[in-house]
Amino acid sequence: MQQTVQFSGIIPPVSTIFTADGALDKAGTAALIDSMIDAGVNGLFFLGSGGEFSQLNTDERKAIAEFAIAHVDRRVPVLIGTGGTNARETIELSQHAQNAGADGIVVINPYYWKVSEANLIRYFEQVADSVTLPVILYNFPALTGQDLTAALVKTLVDSRRNIVGIKDTIDSVAHLRSMILTVKAAHPHFVVLCGYDDHLFNTLLLGGDGAISASGNFAPQISVNLLQAFRDGDLAQAAHYHQTMLQIPQMYQLDAPFVNVIKEAISLCVRPVSTHVLPPAGPLDEPRKAQLKALLQQLKLC
């Protein structure tokens, strides 16, 4: 029986809101979740890069996953990021996400070590075999130092039915096109989601499925409206929203990592939230806050 597409559309990578002492701010995170669901997103992805998973320990990641799944309460599908450098921990977190009620997991390739193709394939297959949940691969070569090629991804999808998609966070239309033409052509149920705001329109035009991109935290209406216009066949209106999406990544250059920028933008455009970030990230200074506010106002986002 033909599998159907899952997890398509706009699925923001949710920022984790923390209190000033680094604990999960449940009220702030809940309010952010509600605002995105109210804006019409198609799902939510927790504990990705913007969720600061790399600054959290295993117990903290489990607690945040449990809170997020419970608060969303089946209103939209929930994806939980479970990847990392340690395969045993990834499997533990993946099984925890399944037991907690997640709809799927998102698994980044191991970083620090460069991993041979055979070991990389084995890693993803072991994770996929450890759960019955759908698995979305997470390609972010700028941070991991290693690209998941379309050929490698096709090998994985050929071998495991529960590997159902990819978050392709790469600034390359050619890479997205190759993923769609190589993998999605062979497996129509396979979901190709871009990770950069300014590639959403390109991804849709090429036959991809949507985006998991940071602006969904502070301006979900732009990507939601772009997707709806595209689905309605109104390419002129979609292009109008695309013009805004093209400008948004400028703000991500204000600091590294830019998790602080996203939280400041949430506070400016959505509602006041704690902008505390976990080290080694730090607070955004006042001059950069002013630059961010000016850019958001220029784009009419706040």
What positions carry a catalytic annotation? Answer: 49, 112, 138, 167
pLDDT in tens, 273-299: 999 999 999 999 999 999 999 999 999
Q: What is the DSSP letter of 16?
A: P
Instruction: Please tell me which residue, 13 or 1, carries the higher pLDDT value.
Output: 13
Query: In the chain, where do the E strands start and end?
Result: 9-10, 44-46, 78-81, 104-108, 135-139, 163-168, 191-194, 210-211
Residues 6+ apart with CB under 8 A from 299: 244, 247, 248
Task: Write phi, then psi, for 73 (nearest 5 degrees).
Answer: 55, 45
Is the dihedral angle over the CA atoms 151, 155, 156, 158 positive or is it negative?
Answer: positive
pTM of structure: 0.96
d(CA 104, CA 249): 27
> pLDDT confidence of 6, banded at 50, 70, 90?
confident
CA angle 215, 169, 125 (to 5 degrees): 130
| 136, 197 Cβ separation under 8 angstroms | no
| 137, 103 Cβ separation under 8 angstroms | no
SS3 content of the chain, % helix, strand, coil (to 5): 50, 10, 35
Owner of token pair 């509600």: 34
> pLDDT confidence of 5, banded at 50, 70, 90?
low
pLDDT in tens, 243-283: 999 999 999 999 999 999 999 999 999 999 999 999 999 99
pLDDT in tens, 56-115: 999 999 999 999 999 999 999 999 999 999 999 999 999 999 999 999 999 999 999 999
| 10, 41 Cβ separation under 8 angstroms | yes
pLDDT in tens, 101-135: 999 999 999 999 999 999 999 999 999 999 999 99
| 73, 84 Cβ separation under 8 angstroms | no
> pLDDT confidence of 3, banded at 50, 70, 90?
low
Q: Is the pLDDT reported for residue 150 higher than 60?
A: yes
pLDDT in tens, 164-202: 999 999 999 999 999 999 999 999 999 999 999 999 999
Q: Which helix (H) or strand (E) holds 100?
A: helix 87-100
> pLDDT confidence of 4, banded at 50, 70, 90?
low
Q: Mean pLDDT over all residues of the chain?
A: 97
Q: How far is CA 149 from CA 61, 134, 184, in A?
A: 28, 20, 13
